[in-house]
Amino acid sequence: MTPHEMSDFIRIVDKTDRNLFQVMVVTWRRGPHSPSMRWKTVLELLKDLLLDAKTIHSIHTILANDLRFFRVCRQCNIRDLVGRFIEDNMCHSRAEENGVVF
């Protein structure tokens, strides 16, 4: 996942008194071929805190490296949403290539 693609999965929501940092979460409640995507608020900061570009970049970096939300596939070496992993370090694509049937 490139930095540009990563930004597709982390966003800032501007509220009246705070900024919400949200991360895309994938769930499979409807079955193995029907992923559900939703935004989850993982950090709320009062607007008193100045969010300059450097601070936003730092928060993005921290979230991109948070194992609750993203993993790096040990075979592809690609970072992706944790919901797209079958094991801690193997993405769905590699799992299928290795014989896992969803």
Distance, CA of 100 to chain centre? 23
Strands 18-27 and 10-14, bridge-based pairing: antiparallel
Pick from 10, 59, 63, 73 the residue near Zn ion by CB under 5 A: 73
Residue 76 near Zn ion by CB under 5 A: yes
Q: Which amino acid is at 75?
A: Q
Which residues 79-98 are close enough to bind Zn ion by CB under 5 A? Answer: 91, 94
Residue with smaller CB distance to Zn ion, 49 or 76:
76
100 binds Zn ion, rule: CB under 5 A: no
Using the structure block, give the residue that is written with the tokens 């490296």.
65
- Residues at the interface with Zn ion (CB under 5 A): 73, 75-76, 91, 94
